[in-house]
Amino acid sequence: MTETEAEAAIDAAEHGAGGFDPGASILHHIVDSNYLEVPIINYKIQLPQIHLPEALGGLDISITKHVVMMWIACGILLLAFTVAARRRSESVPHGLRNALEVMMAYMRDEVARKSIAVGPDRFVGYLMTTFFFILTCNLLGLVPGMATATGNISVTAGLALMAFFMIQMGGIREYGVIQHFKNLVPHGLPLWLVPVVFVLELLSSFIKPFALCIRLFANMMAGHVVILAFISLIFILSEFWYAVAPLSVAFSLFVYLLEILVAFLQAYIFTMLTAQFIGMSVHPAH
């Protein structure tokens, strides 16, 4: 469903005579939009809509809610790391600096260096940036009034595309273009099987980042859908709200707490798999 169709469904649910529409209500919270909502007072802040001239392709590069969420995530990370860097003179790290150093050391030692056998430190900066950006976007979606940018498949596709280029560039830098693609085919195969394996391995190099894209998108969107579905039960079964509300709120709170774990887990999985794929590219098994 496109953004226009989703907004039309939401408006129909809000202004129509059919009463509460759980599907439209859920879409309202997870779909991207051209405005920001201020909680409690129900005020909408319209975002700039920018369309390139037809001579430049006529692309829509409007600022959307999820774009703003990514900007906020970048701002939070810049502020957090700036504050932590100013405390580098402390002999014993504590607080924010200590928390960031623990995660950074883990990503360097347990993810990058154990997954990438050749020149792992060259990729540490990229892997750490990926991890912290995804983590911050995931956690922002749990804050009332915010949105989960990683629940937008366009965002996860962009992250997967960057991972794809890093995977390929790692192998090309290590072996050169020709040898990198030769490494896709294991040595010792019968000649007639080489073209088949090459095509399959070439497809696999595209499927790997595609799987990263879908996994992150689906997991982040699914949690919010489940929470909203539990809350919607209160309105769907409004005649029995006194019995349904306590259970709905309890299950929603449980899933919400689980989503905090999922936010860390999905950021780690995306980064770890990216490191694994880079390691396979720079150090093929054959």
- pLDDT 10s digits, 212-229: 999 999 999 988 888 888
pLDDT at 255 over 50: yes
**pLDDT score for 70:** 95
pLDDT at 14 over 80: no
DSSP state of 186: P
Q: Is 16 within the bounds of a domain?
A: no
pLDDT at 3 over 70: no
Q: What are 137-141's contacts with CB under 8 Å, separation 24+?
A: 137/69, 137/70, 137/73, 138/220, 138/262, 138/263, 138/264, 138/266, 138/267, 139/260, 139/263, 140/69, 140/72, 140/73, 140/76, 141/69, 141/220, 141/224, 141/263
Q: Where are the beta strands (DSSP E) in 31-99?
A: 35-38, 43-46
Alpha-carbon gap, residue 59 to 46, rounded angstroms: 19
Q: Is 245 within the bounds of a domain?
A: yes
Q: Quick count: other Cβ atoms within 10 Å of Cβ 260? A: 13
pLDDT at 175 over 90: no
pLDDT at 15 over 70: no
Q: Is 13 within the bounds of a domain?
A: no
Q: How many residues does the chain have?
A: 286
User: What's the total number of domains in the chain?
Assistant: 1
Domain that residue 250 falls in: 66-282
Q: Give the pLDDT mean for 13-17.
A: 44
Q: Is 131 within the bounds of a domain?
A: yes
More confident residue, 3 or 82: 82
pLDDT at 106 over 80: yes
Q: Is 213 within the bounds of a domain?
A: yes
Q: Is 206 within the bounds of a domain?
A: yes
Q: Is 119 within the bounds of a domain?
A: yes
Q: Is 271 within the bounds of a domain?
A: yes
Give me the percent of the chain exceeding a pLDDT of 70.
Answer: 92
- Band the pLDDT of 2: cuts 50, 70, 90: very low
- pLDDT 10s digits, 31-87: 888 888 877 777 788 888 887 777 777 777 888 899 999 999 999 999 999 998 887
- pLDDT 10s digits, 25-45: 777 778 888 888 877 777 788
